[in-house]
Chains A and B, each alone.
Chain A
Amino acid sequence: MSFINKPKVAHPSLPTNALGMTRRQYEGSMSTLCAGCGHDSVTAAVIEACWGLDMRPEQLVKLSGIGCSSKTTAYFVSGSHGFNSVHGRMPSIASGANAANRELTYVGVSGDGDSLSIGLGQLVHAIRRNVNMLYLIENNGVYGLTKGQFSASADIGTKAKKGEVNQSPPIDPVLLALSLGATFVARGFSGDKAQLVPLIQAGIRHRGFALIDVLSPCVTFNDHEGSTKSYTFTREHYHAAIEADYVPPAQEISVDYPEGETLPVQLHDGSRVVLRKLGASYDPTDRSAAYGFIEEKLKQNEYVTGLIHINEDVSHEFHHLNKTSSVPLNRIPFEKLSPGSAALEKLLGRYR
């Protein structure tokens, strides 16, 4: 990203969304990541997605843990609250925040170290709890801030910058999320914004836990020959299998999709994702089939990208199970929360 702050003044000809806001107004502070970092492209995709969704900035809550990826929540939508928590613990902050106010939109940004090592426990339990949020993993296979150690997503045989070869099997967040019953599982590539933006939009609109694993190469520590998370390797091996288009609620599905190769899925708020499948037999609503397909492709060194699995059943969503009040818990008037002196006096009879 640029090294000088861009002026916030926008040219009058810049396109605006339904709120009359330009893309510039969805930006955050200047990125301090390395030039060419995949994470900055993900940031740009988030900005584009929020702009496209006509989201009020204060509607969004940005959450992160620790690491290069977790810094990025400062780089988009400066008009929304951000919470940069501690390493690997963002899911619990998100769970609590979401419990307090179910009306806001929660986007968590994490990395492969933050999510798959120190934070693995919190990630799997946020999935299990089915917290209504979008969880982005900016996955580059290395620890950047501590200078290039392998992360738990590093593939067997991948080579570190200093030559060390990884021997331990990787944890694949997509297979992990599928096995845990996550209701929205996708994989993207920071270098394919056209694919990533609708995935983010659909993930935000999905009611429940939406995980997007974004392959996001580290230009400084993991972009060399022999790395399986470099730009070159990723471009050669990513397999855009299931393209998704996000269609807002008010809009007609006007594009002419070939019969049998598309699958429109209605989201909870009335919007839709239209999935364009490369193979007509692929059914992203079938979790076990999706698992088998991804695993098979991984064996062939192929990262399948796109919306891999979606399930719009909300019966396991946190608030649904909790029967939480439709008025957010943080806005219920005190008079409705405190039972009062008469109730207390009555209750004391139990303790006499």
Chain B
Amino acid sequence: MPNLVNAPDRVNDFVIKFANVNGTGSASANSLIMKAVFRMGVPVTGKNYFPSNIQGLPTWYEIRVTRDGYSARAGRVDIMVAMNAETYSKDVREVASGGYLLYDATWPRSTLLQRGDITVIGVPLAQLVNENFDGVRNRILLKNIAYAGVLAALLDIDLEAINGLMSESYGKKPKLLESNTRALRLGYDYAKEHLQCPLPLRVERMDKTRGHIMIDGNTAAGLGCVYAGATIGAWYPITPSTSLMDAFKGFCERYRVDPATGEHNFAVIQAEDELAAIGMVLGASWNGARAFTPTSGPGISLMNEFLGLAYYAEVPCVIFDVQRVGPSTGMPTRTQQGDIMLCAYASHGDTRHVLLFPANPEECFYMAVKAFDLAERLQTPVFVLSDLDIGMNDWMCKDLKWDDAYRPDRGKMLSAEELASLDKFYRYVDRDDDAIPYRTLPGVSPKGAYFTRGSGHNQYGAYTEDSAEYQFVLDRLKRKFSTAARYVPKPEILGKGDSKIGIVSVGSCDGAVREAIDVLARQKIAVDYMRIKAFPFGHDVESFLSLHATIFVVEQNRDAQLRSLLTLETAVDKSKLKSILSYSGFPMSCEPIVDGIRATLPDAPRLTAITGKHAR
């Protein structure tokens, strides 16, 4: 049984947590450290725990240096960089036994920061910075760089890696580069002179980040939209989805402006609300452009009306739901998987929607492209259910690849020539027996004209209040959803398939589940794992569920929404499905999964008992 706390070798395997005040520019210093570790070839993840606020409130950033390449939250803190006096008492408690706390000793806090089992390191950061730099704002910013310098010395992080990053950022601003380089050196030299460097927790060069990038899911999804050929994005600003549209717009300004004319091959429309945002997406998609909207739970609530129209009138559209903590306004800057049911059945009446579940930024890129293909192929809304953890945090991912042979799947869209060869065009007739009808675009031919409506219609597209005609269309839509199950991505299945125990999970739980599987394997407990990538569920999901006697459904919400969906939409015996839930708002760690599974096994100690930690 490995003892995680006092593991002899903590090289490239520890967690740094930064406690800062938001609006003080700490983010850039923290990401410098993370990126430098990455450039030293050591796998790393960064997670930002920030308030819904612009300036003055506590904010934390967590960097996990992980030689094994785990992507989940570690659930422990080895070094606390305590830069916010307001949260000292909370921060000091959080450090694992045997860990370290670095603070600004310009104002010594000998009593507040006392704990016998950790090492407190004081560096007079403010004093150092004030003696060397002018200007209040400047000093605040450079203090962050100075603690980065201290950390570089303490953790043996390559100073040149940090300098390299800074010259890339400030290459065109030599004055800024000079002051930042000097501040970094100030902290570094102080630590080298006054502290014992390096600590037993340190970074050592590896070669495990080659072929990888550090990227957040919103950026990757925005990039995916550009590559998919999306031309119209309509949105209403909402955390945590805003950076997706920022990314799309940024990439469009780079790749979609005609150098000769300055004309834009894109339109980003900031709508008056989410109702209008989805309406614009429908209007644009109906008119033949690839269009999308990024939003979060409260936006989906507002979009419900239009989503029912899109389902019933069969208008393609792509919605990115970067989920945050609900219900209601909830905690806008914390993560959750609370919109699974909301999206699966959005809007009144009988509706069911196609959902895609990326597990990381890499999948956000590929699934963005897939979402447009599916939406047009199936002529229906497609949701990409990301979350704040995936969307806004930096993840180490494999290099994104693009196949230049890719062409969009525009689905069954009739050209003027195809229309000319038809006797008559009817919008909702199932000509191919796959429940997907043909559509036409405005402006192409008067022969393709039809009337799109959310009111009762027959298969010819005409208004109806006739029960049989109405049901005929509704039944075809149900069949279309079965067709969808054949088109959506299959689940990812790990394990030999011979264990009685199976784990079923979704999205950003993936990192925690994989880590839990490793921990359990070291304890000689074998489990199989199925990560669901899409709804509707296909044959593979059914067969995994039927093959395992006990299934743990791991998800990040209170009400076991994925489990509910499985019981509603598959033939699984619901008593087999046991929930492991995390809904604190923080990204999931492996602990509750390991504990949850072990608790059901006889005579097995729980992981918290082994490490003496508390699951958060």
Q: Which residues of A are at the interface with B, using a C-beta cutoff of 8 A?
A: 56-59, 61, 73-74, 78-86, 89, 91-101, 103-104, 121-122, 125, 129, 322-326, 329-332, 334, 336-341, 343-345, 347-348, 351-352
Contacts and interface: CB of A to CB of B under 8 A. Distances in A.
A82 B406 contact: no
Contacts of B451: 73-74, 81-84
B525 interface: no
29 contacts: A78-B449, A86-B306, A89-B306, A92-B234, A92-B271, A93-B280, A95-B234, A96-B282, A97-B287, A99-B267, A99-B280, A100-B284, A100-B285, A101-B289, A101-B442, A104-B287, A104-B442, A129-B269, A322-B267, A324-B267, A325-B258, A330-B288, A332-B231, A334-B408, A337-B256, A337-B265, A339-B251, A348-B213, A352-B212
Interface of B: 38-39, 212-215, 223, 226-232, 234, 251, 255-256, 258, 262-267, 269, 271-273, 275-289, 291, 305-306, 309, 399-404, 406-408, 440-446, 448-455, 463
B234 A96 contact: yes
Given A96-B291, A99-B232, A332-B231, A80 B442 contact: yes
Contacts of A84: 451-455
A20 to B, nearest CB: 14
A168 B309 CA distance: 33
B9 to A, nearest CB: 27
A100 B232 contact: yes
A276 to B, nearest CB: 35
A53 to B, nearest CB: 16
Contacts of B279: 85, 89, 91-93, 95-96, 122
A238 B498 CA distance: 83
Contacts of A340: 402, 404
A82 B446 CA distance: 12
A97 B286 contact: yes
Q: Which secondary structure dominates where chain A touches chain B?
A: helix
A164 B231 CA distance: 51
Given A334-B229, A338-B229, A339-B226, A100 B305 contact: no
A125 B279 CA distance: 13
Contact of B231 (A98, A129, A329, A343): A329
A351 B213 contact: yes
A336 B260 CA distance: 14
Given A83-B286, A100-B291, A352-B214, A92 B280 contact: yes
Contacts of B273: 121
B215 to A, nearest CB: 5
Contacts of B263: 323-326
B275 A92 contact: yes
B38 A341 contact: no
Given A89-B276, A99-B267, A58 B287 contact: no
Contact of A89 (B285, B305, B442): B305
A61 to B, nearest CB: 5
A85 B454 contact: yes
Sorted nearest first, the 10 A-B pairs with minimum C-beta distance are A92-B279, A96-B283, A79-B446, A96-B280, A100-B289, A351-B213, A81-B442, A96-B284, A330-B288, A97-B283
Contacts of B231: 100, 329-330, 332, 337
A259 to B, nearest CB: 43
B337 to A, nearest CB: 26
Nearest to B256: A337
A156 to B, nearest CB: 29
A83 B439 CA distance: 13
A292 B289 CA distance: 42
Given A97-B286, A325-B263, A58 B443 contact: yes
Given A74-B451, A322-B267, A325-B264, A95 B287 contact: no
B442 A96 contact: no
Contacts of A334: 229, 407-408
B265 A323 contact: no
A331 to B, nearest CB: 8
Given A74-B463, A121-B272, A343-B255, A81 B289 contact: no
B309 to A, nearest CB: 5
Contacts of A82: 449-453
B258 to A, nearest CB: 7
B407 A97 contact: no
A329 B443 contact: no
Contacts of A332: 231, 265
Contacts of A121: 272-273, 275-276
Contacts of A343: 255
A347 B276 CA distance: 33
A79 B445 CA distance: 8
A99 B284 contact: yes
Which of the listed residues B229, B230, B285 has the most CB atoms from chain A within 10 Å of its own CB? B229
Contacts of A323: 262-264
A58 B446 contact: yes
A81 B448 CA distance: 8
A352 B38 contact: yes
Given A57-B446, A95-B269, A99-B267, A330 B441 contact: yes
A323 B269 CA distance: 13
Nearest to A28: B451
Given A79-B449, A89-B305, A343-B255, 4 more contacts: A85-B309, A89-B279, A101-B289, A345-B399
Contact of A330 (B223, B264, B282, B289): B289
B375 to A, nearest CB: 14
Which of the listed residues A92, A129, A330 has the most CB atoms from chain B within 10 Å of its own CB? A92
A82 B269 CA distance: 23
Nearest to B454: A86
A83 B273 CA distance: 21
A329 B446 contact: no
A347 B402 CA distance: 12
Contacts of A347: 223
B206 to A, nearest CB: 15
B279 to A, nearest CB: 3
A95 B276 contact: yes
A315 to B, nearest CB: 16
Contacts of B269: 95-96, 99, 129
Contacts of B226: 337-339
Contacts of A73: 451
A329 B266 contact: yes
Contacts of B283: 83, 92-100
Nearest to B396: A351
Contacts of A59: 443
A348 to B, nearest CB: 5
Nearest to B452: A83
